[in-house]
Structures are given as C-alpha cells and as structure tokens.
C-alpha cells in the first residue's frame, strides 16, 4: 500500500480486497483442513514450495485470512514476512527454536516475560542450549557477554513487569557485527508505538492476544521477520505444527482497524492516571517509561512514538496483606492476567522472587496496573476507595 499514507489510514485498508470478496468490506473467515487442488500438477507445485506461502495448500499452513493478517503486520512493522502462531508464548518459542541448536549460548533479558524465561532456562537448557540472563540496561557492555557460540539475543522492551528499556540500536549493532541474531518481544508497544526492525532488530514478536486482538477474547501470536530470518522462522513454525485458530486470526485483523485509536486513548488515560497516582500519599513510585523520572525516559523519547497503558506502581512499605485487601476491594479493576482488552486490571507482582541481573529491589510492594477504556474519573474513584483500605502511610 501507499507508504505515504498515515498508519491510521493504512490500517483501515490492509489485508482486505473488497472487490474480491463480493464487495464485503471485511475478508471472510476461512475454516478448514483439506484444501482441494485443481489438478495433480498444482498440488505437486505447491508441495515444492518449502515455506508453504503459496495458497491454497493445507489448513495448517494458513488460510487467506491468516496471510492477510501476516501481510498487514509486515506492512506495519516494515517486515519481510510474518508468521501467525496459536499464542504469544508459542510465537516466542517457535522463533527461539528457529535459531538454536545444542551447544549454543543465548542472551536473554532478565526483564523478559516469565514464561519466556522458563522456556529458556528449563526447556532450552534440556536441549543443550545455555541461557545467560543479562541486565536490560546493559547497553554496549553486552559485547562482554558474547562468546564464540552466542547465537541470539532475546529482548523485551519495556519488560512487561518491571518496565526497563533496552538501548535497542546499540545491542543490535553489536550483535550484527558478531553474526548474532536479535529478537524482541514487542507486545507492550505494538507496531503503533515501536518499530524495532527499523532499529536493526531481526525478529519482532507479538502476543496479539493483548492490544492487537484488543478485547480479551482471543489467543494469538505473530512473529514479524526481516528477510534474512524469515525462512528459518517459517520453517520452525511448519516443523512444530503451528496453526492459529481461524476466529483468533479474524479478531486480530479486526482489532488492527481500531488499534491506533484505542492505543491513543489507553495512552492518554494511563498517563493521566500515573500523574494522579504519584500524588497519592500511599504511592512511593510509578514505573512507566513515558514519565520523565523513569531512568530510561530518554531512550523512550528517542525510540518510541507513544506509550501504552501497562505500568508498575510501587507502594510505600505496606504489609502485603493490607495491599491484597486493597486490591480485593476494587470494583472496576479486575484481578487477572493478560491485558490489552477494554477492561482495567490490577495484580500484585513479585519481581524480587526471580530477578537476577540485577536483583530487584523496591521500597515497597509492587503492583501492575493495566488501564482500560472505562471513564477515568470512575477509575480514580475506585482507586481512591481502594487506597483507604491501607493503614496510614508509613513514614
């Protein structure tokens, strides 16, 4: 599509060709395993396409709706090829398995999503791949961790629990000089706020489950690759039998249409709530990279086009029991994992239990807040009520 058009405009058209769809604006949802070929010659030609990109092929290799979403994601992130998988985590594991073999060493950000960490430290280690966690703020010192067998760097920026940013261009330049592949979990920012491939990242991974599907009704992962990494990741997905659900793909494609609009509203609400929270006597610190007091704020300004609505709150040193009572008393903030839907969420978090580089220290108990699309005054009123459940703030 015309690169000169704004993202919001392009998002209203990508992946849809109404005049090939009987004039319907949205593409149809294809369901199926068997796909019939016109003749034996066509079947055999498709069988010779190692990346199974040609259609029709077989249900598991992706429907036309799946290809439409993959093309839309490539367009948004400047990728060469994208691959849909059945969850965000499977997008991560499929991408990692595309590059590693026994005897390899990999560098994984200490701030990465906990299940990513577990896959690396346990499943990959059982396959003979050694994971070393690195300080998300390591910058150019990453080069000191490189070994002859270092295969890849896995980043997440910001970390979705502790919100540190990486100096992504620096890590990528050094990696490239050493032939090391770079992968990033870009779920927090989405392609609307961050385009990692433009900064030199090879593979950008999304839990489309979150903002992209956007309504807490879907599980889906998407891997966006540059030209050199695409064949390996597509092959990994084929070998692993990755196959995303037809409805989930459709929901993600539909979610893209309103993604910029939703994110701008999430951003506005979250930043205003952050300001409000910082004024509450029970709050020690609000941890969000778009706030000027965040240690990585300068990187955020340099690399990101906006900020999403998931952030951390560190309370004064209250007892966890009192904090739980406060969280339990909230009416509008649901207690639940995941995020990216229209509904606000809150969970207590415990990064000190697993962080190693560096160990996590905070003045008081930490919460993670996700700001949805409810009216902001109603959300503030809910939190005001909740904060009264805490004893008078300790000095």
Ligand X SMILES: *Cc1c(COP(=O)(O)O)cnc(C)c1O
Q: Which residues would be at the binding site for ligand X (CB under 6 A)?
A: 87-89, 113, 156, 160, 185, 187, 207, 209-210, 219, 221, 338
Rank residues 318 and 370 by Cβ distance to ligand X and give the closer one: 370
Rank residues 130 and 156 by Cβ distance to ligand X and give the closer one: 156
- Give 200: exposed, middle or buried? Use CB within 10 Å, 0-12, 13-18, 19+: middle
Report the SS3 class of residue 237: helix
Q: Report whether 212 contacts 256 (CB < 8 A).
A: yes
Rank residues 282 and 309 by Cβ distance to ligand X and give the closer one: 309
The distance of closest approach from Cβ of residue 91 to ligand X in the complex, given in angstroms and rounded to an integer, is 8
* Residue from 185, 202, 303, 382 carrying the catalytic annotation: 185
* Residue 60 appears among annotated catalytic residues: yes
The distance of closest approach from Cβ of residue 115 to ligand X in the complex, given in angstroms and rounded to an integer, is 7
Q: Quick check: bond before 358 cis, omega within 30?
A: yes
- Give 293: exposed, middle or buried? Use CB within 10 Å, 0-12, 13-18, 19+: exposed
Neighbours of 108 (CB within 10 A): 23
Rank residues 174 and 207 by Cβ distance to ligand X and give the closer one: 207
Q: Please give the structure tokens belonging to residue 154.
A: 């896995």
Output phi, psi for 81, to 5 deg.
-155, 150
Select the residue whose beta carbon is closest to ligand X and give its number. 88
First to last CA, the chain: 58
- The DSSP bridge partners found for residue 367 are 313, 348
Q: Report whether 163 contacts 288 (CB < 8 A).
A: yes
Rank residues 336 and 358 by Cβ distance to ligand X and give the closer one: 336
The distance of closest approach from Cβ of residue 114 to ligand X in the complex, given in angstroms and rounded to an integer, is 9
Cβ contacts of 226-232, under 8 Å, gap ≥ 24: 226/79, 226/80, 226/197, 226/202, 227/80, 227/81, 228/202, 229/98, 229/99, 229/181, 229/202, 229/203, 230/51, 230/79, 230/80, 230/81, 231/50, 231/51, 232/98, 232/99
Kindly state the DSSP code that residue 34 receives in the 8-state scheme.
Answer: -
* Residue 210 appears among annotated catalytic residues: yes
Strand runs labelled E in the chain: 81-85, 105-109, 130-134, 150-156, 181-185, 203-207, 221-225, 283-287, 310-315, 345-349, 366-370
390 alpha carbon, distance to own chain's centre: 33
Rank residues 70 and 185 by Cβ distance to ligand X and give the closer one: 185
The distance of closest approach from Cβ of residue 141 to ligand X in the complex, given in angstroms and rounded to an integer, is 24
The distance of closest approach from Cβ of residue 311 to ligand X in the complex, given in angstroms and rounded to an integer, is 13
* Residue from 60, 141, 302, 305 carrying the catalytic annotation: 60
The distance of closest approach from Cβ of residue 87 to ligand X in the complex, given in angstroms and rounded to an integer, is 3
* Residue from 137, 210, 355, 368 carrying the catalytic annotation: 210
Report the SS3 class of residue 238: helix
The distance of closest approach from Cβ of residue 326 to ligand X in the complex, given in angstroms and rounded to an integer, is 24
Rank residues 184 and 383 by Cβ distance to ligand X and give the closer one: 184
* Residue from 67, 113, 117, 151 carrying the catalytic annotation: 113
* Residue 331 appears among annotated catalytic residues: no
- CA distances from residue 356 to 108, 112, 281, 349 in whole angstroms, order as listed: 12, 12, 30, 16
Tell me the catalytic residues. 60, 113, 185, 210
């Amino acid at each position: 599509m015309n690169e000169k058009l704004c993202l919001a405009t392009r998002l209203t058209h990508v992946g849809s060709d109404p005049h090939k769809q009987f004039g319907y604006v949205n593409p149809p949802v294809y369901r199926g395993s068997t796909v019939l070929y016109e003749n034996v010659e066509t079947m055999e030609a498709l069988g010779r396409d190692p990346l199974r990109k040609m259609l029709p092929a077989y249900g598991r290799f992706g429907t036309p709706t799946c290809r439409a979403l993959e093309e839309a994601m490539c367009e948004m992130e400047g990728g060469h090829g994208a691959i849909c998988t059945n969850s965000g985590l499977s997008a991560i594991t499929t991408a990692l398995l595309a590059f590693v073999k026994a005897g390899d060493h990999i560098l994984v950000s200490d701030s990465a999503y906990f299940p990513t960490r577990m896959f690396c430290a346990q499943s990959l280690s059982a396959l003979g791949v050694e994971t070393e966690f690195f300080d998300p703020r390591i910058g150019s010192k990453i080069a000191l961790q490189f070994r002859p067998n270092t295969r890849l760097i896995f980043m997440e920026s910001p970390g979705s629990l502790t919100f540190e940013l990486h100096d992504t261009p620096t890590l990528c330049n050094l990696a490239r000089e050493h032939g090391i592949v770079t992968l990033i979990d870009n779920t927090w920012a989405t392609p609307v706020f961050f385009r990692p491939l433009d900064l030199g990242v090879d593979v950008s991974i999304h839990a489309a489950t979150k903002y992209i599907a956007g309504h807490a009704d879907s599980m889906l992962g998407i891997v966006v690759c540059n030209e050199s990494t695409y064949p390996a990741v597509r092959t990994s997905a084929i070998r692993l039998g990755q196959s995303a659900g037809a409805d989930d793909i459709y929901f993600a494609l539909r979610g893209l249409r309103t993604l910029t609009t939703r994110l701008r509203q999430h951003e506005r609400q979250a930043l205003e709530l952050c300001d409000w929270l910082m004024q509450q006597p029970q709050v020690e610190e609000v941890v969000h990279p778009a706030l000027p007091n965040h240690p990585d704020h300068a990187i955020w300004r340099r690399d990101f086009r906006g900020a999403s609505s998931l952030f951390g709150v560190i309370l004064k040193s209250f007892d966890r029991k009192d904090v739980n009572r406060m969280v339990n008393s909230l009416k509008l903030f649901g207690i639940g994992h995941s995020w990216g839907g229209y509904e606000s969420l809150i969970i207590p978090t415990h990064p000190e239990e697993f962080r190693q580089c560096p160990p996590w220290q905070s003045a008081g108990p930490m919460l993670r807040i996700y700001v949805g699309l409810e009216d902001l005054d109603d959300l503030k009123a809910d939190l005001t009520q909740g904060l009264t459940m805490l004893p008078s703030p300790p000095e």
